[in-house]
C-alpha cells in the first residue's frame, strides 16, 4: 500500500492552488467579456454615428410649383422643331422657375421683408428637369403645368437641422428670409420632406446641387463588376481548387503553387490595381473607368480568396465517399463531380460569397484604373455596358467625403448605409446556405 502524502484536508474544500487556478479562470472570463464588450461598443458607436448622419440622405425636400411654359421663350418660331427647341439651354429655363416661385409666393399671400432671390430655394436640377420634360412633351408649350422640384441643399438642410437661421446669416447661398419662406411654404402645403428613392437611383451630381446626387451609377458599376468577378472567379477558382486538391500530384511544383496562392491572398489590394493598369489598360488597351477592367482586377484579387476556402471544403469531404464511389467503378472525374463537389458546394459557395463581399467593398485597386471619377451617365446594359465608364459604391463614398458642400456629409453616410445593407445581404445569404446545406460527418 502506498503512503498517503497529500494534505489531510477534505476533498470538498478547495486548497490554495485550486483557488488560484479558479481565480485565473474567472479573470480570463472577465477579460474575454471586456474584449467582447469593447468590440460591441465600437460597433454600436460606428453604426449609430453612420445611421444618425446618413439617415437624412434618404429624406429629401420637394417644392411644388406651377410652371408656365411661354412660347416666346422656349420656341420662338413656333414650329416645335426639336432641334430648335434644344437650343434653349438650361439657362433659358431658369427664369421660368424664378417666375413660378414668385407666382406661388404671391398666390399664397406670403410677404417677407427683405426676401431677395427666392429662386435660391430651388435646386439647379429643376432647370434640367423642366428642359427634359419640354423636349419630350413639346405640346406643353404655352400651358402651365404643376411640377414637383427639388429644394436646394440648404433649404433641405434646414428641415434636417443642419442649417439654422444663425448659420444662414453667415452663408452667402441662403438668407434667414429664405428659411422663413420655407416655413411659410410648408404651412401652405407647397413644400414637403419625404422619403427619396432618387438617392438610390439617380446618378452623381456636381457640387452645385448636392440634393440631386445619388448612387445609381455607382450601384450599377458595382453590380457589373460583381458580375464579371462571379463569371470569371467562380469557374477558375473552383477548377483550380479541384485540380489541386483531387488530381494534382504532390511534388515541389504544386507545393510552390500552393504557397504562392496563400501569399497572393495576403497581397495588398492596391498592388492588383497597379497590375490592372499595366496589363488591362496599357497593354490590352481596354478603356479606362470601365467596370470590365475593375471586374478583372477584382477577379485577380478575389481568386486566391476563393481557392483557399474551396480547397478546405473539398478536403473536408471524407475519403470514404471517394473510396465508395471508386469502389463501385466510378472514374475519378465522376467521383469528383458526382459525389465530392456537391458535398463541398456549401463551403465553396460560402467562400465565394465572402470573396464577392470583399471585392464589393474594395476601393484601392479602382483608384488606379480611373474608376474614382465623376460619372453621370448610366452604363448601358451588359455586355456593352461593361465597357462604359462607371464608378463603384465605395468609390462614390470616397468622392462624397471630398466635396466642400456640407450636404455631402450626410450623403456619404447614406451611401455607407447602402453598402452595408448590400454586404449584410450577401453575408446573410452565405450563412443561410451554410446552415441549409452543410453536412457533418
- The reply to whether 232 sits near other proteins by the rule CB under 8 A is yes
CA atoms within 13 A on the CB side of 274: 5
| Residues across the chain | 441
Regarding 73 and contact with other proteins (CB under 8 A), the answer is: no
Q: Which residue stretches of 145-188 are H helix?
A: 153-159, 165-169, 176-187
By beta-carbon proximity to other proteins, the closer residue of 131 and 178 is 131
- Is 275 a residue that touches other proteins (CB under 8 A)? no
Is there binding between residue 4 and other proteins (CB under 8 A)? no
Site for other proteins in 32-51 (CB under 8 A): none
Hey, which residues between 379 and 398 contact other proteins (CB under 8 A)? Answer: 383-384, 386-387, 389
Pairing of β 191-195 and β 59-68: antiparallel
If the CB atoms of residues 309 and 379 are measured against other proteins, the closer one turns out to be 379
Nearer to other proteins, 162 or 434 (CB): 162
Number of Cβ within a 10 Å radius of residue 48: 10
* Position 441 contacts other proteins (CB under 8 A): no
Determine the 3-state secondary structure of 191 from DSSP: strand
> Contact, 152 vs 101, CB < 8 A?
no
Say whether residue 437 binds other proteins (CB under 8 A).
no
Q: What is the footprint of other proteins within residues 158-217 (CB under 8 A)? A: 163, 166-168, 170-173, 205-209
Query: Considering the rule CB under 8 A, would residue 134 count as an interface residue with other proteins?
Result: no
Q: Which of 173, 161, 168, 177 lies closest to 208 in space, CA to CA?
A: 173
The residue with cell 447661398 is: 173
Binding string, residues 98-117; x marks residues near other proteins by CB under 8 A: --------------------
Site for other proteins in 319-378 (CB under 8 A): 337, 370, 372-377
| Burial category of 326 from C-beta neighbours within 10 Å (exposed 0-12, middle 13-18, buried 19 and up) | middle
> How far apart are alpha carbons 78 and 193 in whole angstroms?
38
Q: Which of 265, 171, 145, 153 is nearest to 213 (CA)?
A: 153
Which CB atom, from 362 or from 405, has the smaller least distance to other proteins?
A: 405
Q: Which residues bind other proteins (CB under 8 A)?
A: 86, 89-91, 124, 128, 131-132, 163, 166-168, 170-173, 205-209, 228, 231-232, 234-236, 238-239, 281-282, 284-289, 292, 337, 370, 372-377, 383-384, 386-387, 389, 401-406
Amino acid at each position: 500500500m502506498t503512503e498517503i502524502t497529500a494534505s489531510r484536508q477534505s476533498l470538498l474544500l478547495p486548497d490554495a492552488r485550486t483557488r488560484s487556478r479558479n481565480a485565473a479562470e474567472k479573470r480570463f472570463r472577465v477579460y474575454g467579456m471586456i474584449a467582447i464588450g469593447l468590440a460591441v461598443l465600437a460597433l454600436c458607436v460606428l453604426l449609430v454615428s453612420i445611421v444618425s448622419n446618413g439617415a437624412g440622405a434618404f429624406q429629401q425636400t420637394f417644392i411644388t410649383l406651377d410652371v408656365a411654359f411661354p412660347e416666346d421663350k422656349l420656341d420662338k418660331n413656333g414650329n416645335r422643331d426639336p432641334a430648335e427647341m434644344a437650343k434653349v439651354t438650361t439657362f433659358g429655363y431658369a427664369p421660368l422657375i424664378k417666375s413660378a416661385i414668385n407666382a406661388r409666393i404671391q398666390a399664397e399671400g406670403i410677404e417677407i421683408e427683405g426676401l431677395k432671390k427666392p429662386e435660391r430655394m430651388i435646386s439647379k436640377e429643376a432647370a434640367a428637369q423642366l428642359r427634359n420634360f419640354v423636349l419630350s412633351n413639346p405640346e406643353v408649350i404655352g400651358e402651365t403645368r404643376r411640377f414637383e422640384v427639388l429644394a436646394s441643399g440648404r433649404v433641405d438642410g434646414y428641415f434636417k437641422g443642419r442649417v439654422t437661421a444663425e448659420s444662414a446669416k453667415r452663408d452667402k447661398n441662403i438668407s434667414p428670409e429664405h428659411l422663413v419662406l420655407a416655413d411659410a411654404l410648408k404651412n401652405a402645403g407647397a413644400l414637403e420632406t419625404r422619403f427619396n428613392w432618387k438617392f438610390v437611383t439617380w446618378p452623381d451630381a456636381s457640387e452645385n446641387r448636392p440634393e440631386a446626387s445619388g448612387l445609381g451609377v455607382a450601384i450599377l458599376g458595382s453590380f457589373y463588376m460583381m458580375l464579371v468577378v462571379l463569371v470569371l472567379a467562380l469557374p477558375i477558382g473552383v477548377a483550380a481548387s479541384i485540380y489541386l486538391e483531387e488530381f494534382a500530384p504532390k511534388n515541389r511544383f504544386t507545393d510552390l503553387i500552393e504557397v504562392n496562392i496563400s501569399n497572393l491572398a495576403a497581397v495588398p489590394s492596391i498592388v492588383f490595381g497597379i497590375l490592372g493598369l499595366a496589363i488591362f489598360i496599357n497593354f490590352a488597351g481596354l478603356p479606362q473607368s470601365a467596370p470590365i477592367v475593375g471586374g478583372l482586377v477584382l477577379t485577380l484579387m478575389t481568386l486566391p480568396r476563393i481557392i483557399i476556402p474551396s480547397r478546405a471544403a473539398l478536403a473536408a469531404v471524407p475519403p470514404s465517399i471517394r473510396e465508395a464511389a471508386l469502389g463501385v467503378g466510378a472514374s475519378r472525374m465522376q467521383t469528383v463531380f458526382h459525389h465530392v463537389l456537391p458535398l463541398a458546394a456549401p463551403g465553396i459557395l460560402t467562400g465565394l460569397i465572402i470573396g464577392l463581399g470583399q471585392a464589393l467593398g474594395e476601393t484601392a485597386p479602382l483608384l488606379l484604373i480611373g474608376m474614382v471619377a465623376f460619372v453621370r451617365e448610366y452604363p448601358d446594359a451588359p455586355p456593352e455596358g461593361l465597357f462604359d465608364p462607371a464608378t463603384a459604391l465605395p468609390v462614390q463614398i470616397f468622392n462624397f467625403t471630398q466635396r466642400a458642400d456640407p450636404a455631402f456629409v450626410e450623403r456619404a453616410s447614406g451611401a455607407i448605409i447602402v453598402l452595408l445593407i448590400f454586404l449584410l445581404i450577401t453575408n446573410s445569404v452565405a450563412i443561410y446556405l451554410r446552415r441549409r446545406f452543410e453536412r457533418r460527418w
